[in-house]
């Protein structure tokens, strides 16, 4: 029941997103004028307009747009002369690789950092971890990227500054993209663990003589993980949005870079498709997280 | 008839005085917050009095002094404390003028989204029902669009302009206010003073304005402070992509992007502008965290 209701909501949201994307791109003015040279004749203009189906009534266009979406037809790129979805799928592996690496980095750093910080609450370790977290939250991704390039590519010459290749190409972009999520997750895990560690069942476990490490890792962490699961889901959405900037900094050939290219080329169908695609991924990821959450915490299902 | 309503209304004067006292106390205890507040004050002063402070015209080109390094490095051109960029423009002056744009966008977009968000939050929380449902679904849709994507699209459609950037960020930032204030109002609406106000015949509008609005100001102020930092980062991101404010206007994000081209020879262009963004948002975030602790000590995170 919960799953069905939540899925229904996600479908409504996606429908609205598709409509907004359609309207915004139609507001963008006449793509035909932008595509043709200045000295094109009226006949040429009309021919192209007809070819693109832009001479039909708006409702008609909207109908076939939605119908196309149902058949996974996201329109054709004006610039690449290919179906938009093909181009996106072509670029998707690069973005997935980058996002997964960023998420792995974020989790590997944030989980120990959050635990240590919570356990040593108020001590110097805690303040320094929280200091790093605050800086991570306050620094825009592109500046982090540029500093990393400056230090590790320009000065030390250890890692490449741009492009895609082996593992060494992945390190700097992944850290850049993952830093903000790392900070968010560490901060949330710390506060949620501090709350949990103050509860009775933790005191009971301690009184039973279990070692502090075991109490924290089994009793504490399991209960503190619920809010963290939610935020990880939201962070996946943020990673996709952040990919636009990170991929630009490092000339990473993914969907984010493609979006910026579509924008600068005024390739409206491709722009519409990338916006829609990112929104779909975001909604679906959050749907999955919500459902997972309901399985982890029965209270959610009942409310 | 007006008397009971007056009693139920907290006197705004004492409320604000005790809030200020609490903020002063929190500041005295917290050394980091003192530094943050000082940095913030400095940025605001620089932003307001920029033209009086800046040593040079931020757009003046000096082609004989291109890519001059900062004052401590060999080859510095006197008069350019933080060096010059690829067109010989003074980096320090551009950072000072950039502060105005960042602050203007940050504050204006935050005010706009704060007003929209709190009106929606109060109305949704007070009336509940279908109105609430529509607004919360709208919030979901809004969240499904990464803000930067929406901003990109709108800027492409309408053209680069400072005001469009403010409007886009202002209209997309309402969700966090609406959600927090709605949940606050949901619990406030069943309080005795609201029931009392209704009993003496106050209209819905009066209740929302006189009784609910003053009581959501604390969470509102906290979110707004933190939001200024996100707005500044969002503006810088758009300018970095070259899709925000027109490129002729000196902005921190634009400088970072210009500087990246010369990262191997002239690191100072992007590094100083990046530090300006980082220090500003860091100061705002620390101040915002302190305000939240004052407003709601239980929410210590």
- Give the residue from A103, A110, A289, A107 showing the smallest Cα distance to A190: A110
Q: Does A248 touch chain B (CB under 8 A)?
A: yes
- Give the residue from B142, B218, B206, B186 showing the smallest Cα distance to B1: B206
- Give the Cα-Cα-Cα angle B186, B191, B197 (nearest 5 degrees): 110
The parts of chain B modelled with pLDDT lower than 70 are: 1-17, 144-145, 296-301
- How do residues B237-267 score in pLDDT, each as one tens digit? 888 888 878 878 888 888 888 888 888 888 8
Neighbours of A97 (CB within 10 A): 16
The answer to whether the CB atoms of A245 and B240 lie below 8 A apart is yes
Q: What pLDDT is recorded for position B105?
A: 92
Cβ neighbours of B253 in A, within 8 Å: 140, 142
- CA A49 – CA A56 distance, rounded (Å): 9
Q: Are A65 and A73 in contact (CB under 8 A)?
A: no
B97 is written with which tokens? 């003028």
Give chain B's domains with CATH numbers: 25-295 (1.10.3720.10)
Q: What is the DSSP string of B249-295?
A: S--HHHHHHHHHHTTTT-HHHHHHHHHHHHHHHHHHHHHHHHHHHHH
Substitution target from A31, A140, A186, A187 for chain B, most B beta carbons within 10 A: A140
Task: Tell me how many helices (H) and strands (E) chain B has.
Answer: 13, 0
The answer to whether the CB atoms of B149 and A278 lie below 8 A apart is yes
Nearest by CB to A146, which of B145, B157, B263? B263
Neighbours of A234 (CB within 10 A): 16
Q: What pLDDT is recorded for position B53?
A: 82
Substitution target from B274, B276, B277, B285 for chain A, most A beta carbons within 10 A: B274
The answer to whether the CB atoms of B267 and A245 lie below 8 A apart is no
A282 is written with which tokens? 């975001």
What residues have CB less than 8 Å from A38, skipping those under 6 apart? none
Q: What pLDDT is recorded for position B3?
A: 42
The answer to whether the CB atoms of B300 and A263 lie below 8 A apart is no
pTM of the full structure: 0.83
Classify residue A8 by burial, with Cβ atoms within 10 Å: 0-12, 13-18, 19+.
exposed
Distance from CA of A184 to the nearest CA of B (A): 11
Q: What is the DSSP string of B45-97?
A: HHHHHHHHH-SS-TT---GGGTTPPPTTSTTPPTT-TT-B-TT--BHHHHHHH
Q: What pLDDT is recorded for position B12?
A: 46
**Closest A-chain CA to B238:** A245
Q: Does A283 touch chain B (CB under 8 A)?
A: yes
- CA A247 – CA B167 distance, rounded (Å): 26
Q: Are B230 and B280 in contact (CB under 8 A)?
A: no
Buried b (16+ CB within 10 A) or exposed e, B174-212: bbbbbbbbbebbeebbeeebbeebeeeebeeeebbeebb
Distance from CA of A246 to the nearest CA of B (A): 10
Mean pLDDT by 10 residues, chain A (303 residues): 81 82 70 68 77 75 82 79 87 89 90 85 83 86 88 82 78 89 87 78 76 74 73 75 86 88 81 83 81 71 55
Strands (E), chain A: none
The answer to whether the CB atoms of B140 and A278 lie below 8 A apart is no
Q: Does A138 touch chain B (CB under 8 A)?
A: yes
- CA B54 – CA B77 distance, rounded (Å): 16
């Amino acid at each position: 029941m919960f799953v069905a209701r939540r899925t229904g909501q996600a479908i409504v949201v996606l429908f609205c997103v598709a409509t907004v994307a359609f309207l915004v791109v139609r507001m963008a003015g006449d793509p035909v004028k932008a595509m043709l040279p200045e000295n094109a004749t009226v006949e040429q203009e009309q021919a192209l307009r007809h070819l693109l189906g832009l001479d039909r009534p708006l409702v008609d266009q909207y109908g076939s747009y939605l119908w196309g979406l149902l058949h996974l037809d996201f329109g054709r790129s004006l610039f690449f002369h290919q179906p938009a979805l093909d181009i996106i799928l072509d670029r998707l592996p690069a973005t997935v690789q980058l996002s997964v690496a960023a998420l792995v980095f974020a989790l590997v750093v944030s989980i120990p950092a959050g635990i240590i910080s919570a356990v040593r609450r108020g001590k110097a370790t805690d303040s320094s971890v929280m200091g790093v977290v605050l800086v991570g939250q306050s620094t825009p991704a592109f500046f982090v990227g540029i500093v990393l390039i400056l230090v590790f590519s320009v000065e030390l010459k250890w890692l490449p500054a741009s492009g895609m290749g082996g593992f060494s190409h992945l390190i700097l972009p992944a850290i850049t993209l993952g830093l903000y999520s790392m900070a968010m997750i560490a901060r949330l895990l710390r506060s949620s663990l501090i709350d949990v560690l103050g509860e009775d069942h933790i005191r009971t476990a301690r009184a039973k003589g279990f070692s502090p490490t075991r109490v924290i890792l089994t009793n504490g962490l399991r209960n503190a993980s619920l809010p963290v699961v939610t935020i990880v889901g939201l962070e996946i959405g943020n990673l996709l949005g952040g990919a636009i900037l990170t991929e630009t900094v490092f000339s990473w050939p993914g969907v984010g870079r493609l979006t910026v290219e579509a924008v600068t080329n005024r390739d409206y169908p491709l722009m519409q498709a990338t916006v829609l695609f990112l929104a779909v991924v975001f909604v679906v990821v959050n749907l999955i997280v919500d459902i997972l959450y309901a399985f982890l915490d029965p209270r959610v299902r009942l409310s | 008839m007006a008397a009971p309503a007056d009693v139920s209304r907290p006197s705004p004067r004492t409320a604000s005085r005790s809030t200020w006292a609490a903020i002063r106390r929190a500041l005295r205890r917290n050394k980091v917050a003192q530094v943050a507040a000082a940095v913030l004050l400095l940025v605001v002063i620089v932003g307001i009095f920029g033209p009086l402070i800046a040593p040079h015209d931020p757009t003046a080109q000096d082609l004989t002094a291109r890519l001059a390094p900062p004052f401590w490095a060999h080859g510095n051109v006197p008069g350019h404390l933080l060096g010059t960029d690829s067109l010989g423009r003074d980096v320090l002056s551009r950072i000072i003028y950039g502060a105005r744009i960042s602050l203007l966008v940050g504050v204006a977009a935050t005010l706009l989204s704060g007003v929209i968000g709190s009106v929606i939050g109060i109305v949704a929380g007070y009336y509940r029902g279908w109105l609430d449902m529509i607004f919360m679904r709208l919030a979901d849709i809004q969240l499904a669009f990464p803000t930067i994507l929406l901003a990109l699209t709108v800027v492409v459609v309408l053209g680069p302009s400072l005001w469009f950037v403010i409007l886009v960020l202002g209209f997309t930032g309402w969700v966090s206010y609406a959600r927090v204030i709605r949940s606050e109002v949901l619990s406030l609406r069943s309080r005795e003073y609201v029931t009392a106000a209704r009993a003496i015949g106050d209209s819905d509008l009066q209740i929302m304005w006189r009784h609910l609005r003053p009581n959501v100001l604390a969470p509102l102020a906290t979110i707004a402070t933190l939001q200024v930092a996100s707005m500044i980062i969002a503006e810088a991101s758009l300018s970095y992509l070259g899709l925000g404010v027109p490129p002729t206007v000196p902005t921190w994000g634009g400088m970072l992007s210009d500087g990246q081209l010369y990262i191997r020879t002239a690191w100072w262009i992007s590094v100083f502008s990046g530090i300006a963004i980082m220090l500003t948002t860091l100061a705002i975030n620390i101040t915002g965290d302190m305000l939240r602790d004052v407003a709601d000590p239980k929410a210590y995170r």
